[in-house]
Chain A
Amino acid sequence: MIRAWGNEDWRTQRSEKSRKPCGDDATGVVLLTRQNHEIFVEKSAGVGSGFTDEQYIEAGAIIVDSAEEAWSKDLIVKVKEPVKDEYQYFRKGQLLFTYLHLAAEEELTKALLENEVTSIAYETVQLPDGSLPLLTPMSEVAGRMSTQMGVQYLEKTKGGKGILLAGVPGVQRGKVTIIGGGVAGTNAAKIALGLGASVTILDLSHSACGNWTTYLVHL
């Protein structure tokens, strides 16, 4: 498994359960501590994402030294699914809120069931219209980044054909084809259009194309 972006691991404790991730300058921690929740952040949890322990302390969190201590709290908030080393901390009544992707993780599923952990998976939180609000931001990031990667690998030194996607006056623009007009595809197209590339989007439904037109007007 590829490691996630900086592993923000917070555990919150109140009389009930809670725990959470953080925003710019640990905004998430600030918001929660203002509601009188106690937030515990595992030492160095945010370093990979550029959040220092000092920032969390400033935001009102308490830094804990060990994973064991962090997992002892009521509500555990993570990014990626727990790794095997963490299964030992599972216990009844614990509330775990993170990406889980259990369909592909039989061992993890068994560990959660055997230890009677209460788990809520980010990827299965679902709005009444069927959309997945906790997956959307990651699709947005991946979509926007995909065009950037295309730009980069078209460069000759990277092995590409040596084309500037935007072209210049007198030279044809580069062509970007995007298959899928959902959140990721929409975001890829937005960046490609911003660069001045020639963009084609393919989607299964006519209605998606209609949505597109509306969307682009508002770009």
Chain B
Amino acid sequence: MTGDASANRVSFWRTFWANAVVAPRTSLGFMRIDFILGMIFIIPLTQISFFALTAQLANDSVSEIQFVVIGNAVATVTYSSVFSVCQTTDSEKQQGTMEHLLVSPANRLALYFGRGMIPILISLATVAMGLVYAVFLFGVPLAPGSEWALAVSVVLTAFAMVGFGLLLGGVALYLRTSIILGNIFLFVGLLLSGVNFPLSSLPSSLQWIGYALPLTWGLSAVRAAISGDSLGTLTILWGAVAICALVAYGAAILLWDVFEHRALATGSIARF
């Protein structure tokens, strides 16, 4: 019994590390070094510049431009966490490895967390770089002593967003391709998560959709940390991000479980 538990533990961590190390080179097709560097250094700068200049043209108000800058610095997280992770399902199907994955005894939890590890690290780096640009190039003021709160907010956001990407990857399992889903959620946060204007300026039905997205809560936590809000406020927001993350990872695992059973029943899930 003890031997089985120990073997299971070893198998769990082996699956976790194998996926963490191998997935970026195989199913995470976008994770080439040039793409990674581009995602971390170029995309945040160009996306922030684009929306900051648009805001400047619309209304030359410093506070509004800074609102847009912070929003887009955090929103760049979606490239590595949502779009790339969501594409893994397509890659598995294209490479013909989906059937092998579905019949393998690998622990699913280890598999998903392992696959999410490198995207989480890249997401962290992307948001961190975006915030560096925001502070040093666009003059966003950072409240004194808020660095640690900001770090916690960014880590939680990256974690939750990768979970959301895995969830979309699970949905994409049932679709012919994940490119549409990936594209929708790559950009929808710009509109519904309070990236460019407060959520309150949207119709109430859209506000509810926005509240269901982890980016909304992650961004709120980052904004609160930057402006030096109290620990009480931050704790509530961190809790919301953590709940989003748990729901996303849980739903992702549940979806894959459902589709696995469907795959066994119909033998058609891996069609591309």
A binds B: no
